[in-house]
Amino acid sequence: MMRVALIHQPYRPETAESAGQTGAWLDSRGIGQALLSAFELERHDPSRFDLALSFGGDGTTLRTARWAIRAGVAIVPVGMGTLSFLAELAPTELADGLSPYLAGDFWRDERAMLRVELGDEVKPAVLDGESASGPAPRPPSPLLALNDVVVARGAALRAVSIDLAVHEHYVTRFTADGLVVATATGSTAYALAAGGPVMAPDLRTIAIVPIAGHLSALESLILPESAQIRLTVARSQP
């Protein structure tokens, strides 16, 4: 029997309501389903599911992507956020729009992701733009990212110097408020706001974009997805 994960944003009750209504609709058609919080996905095995619906904004979709990729589960984002740039369906389209997915009549839009390993000295911040009180818990390594990874200056009111190496060969030093490493999917997010280029979402490329760069030889850099990138903070920051 087909099983569908219904993933909602726990701080937005309307997403749980819409996911619950979709679950009842699936039950009436003999399709297995489970309602999951986007903040508790690590408690669940993605291989138990054939399809995942994310109810919320792009942050919920990004969390779902990191979880679902472990088992190659297809994601259908249901746009209920402020922007929902990655949304595939609106809540009002679910009744008719879900049928092709449940019948297997769809094509996969496969996107590149970043695989990130953190050094022991790294102080992690927050994921997906969420606020945090106190020190952030250290995420598991390696970390997967659909949009981007950001190295930032933290609370310090000064620029940070970041050395870039590709395949262990030194390339340049960026002095900036931070550095965005973005996939083609993420090129229209923070990287674009920082002045980076827009890349077609099916490109297998990586953009490296400084945030408010100062006297840098490069405004941005485009690399192939095979590039092994090492970022080292050259000036210690609190």
Catalytic residues: 58
Element holding 24 (H helix, E strand):
helix 13-27
* Calpha distance 236→51 (Å, rounded): 44
* Residues forming a β-bridge with 169: 166
3-state helix, strand, coil split of the chain in percent (to 5) is: 25, 30, 45
Sheet with 221-224, side-by-side order of all strands: 148-152, 178-183, 205-211, 221-224
140 DSSP 8-state letter: P
Query: Phi-psi bin for 61: left (phi > 0), alpha (psi -120 to 50), beta?
Result: alpha
Cis geometry, peptide bond prior to residue 142 (ω within 30 degrees of 0): yes
For 9-73, where are the E strands, in sequence order? 32-37, 51-56
* Calpha distance 17→105 (Å, rounded): 27
Beta-strand relationship, 178-183 and 148-152 = antiparallel
- CA atoms in the 13 A half-sphere facing the CB of 149: 18
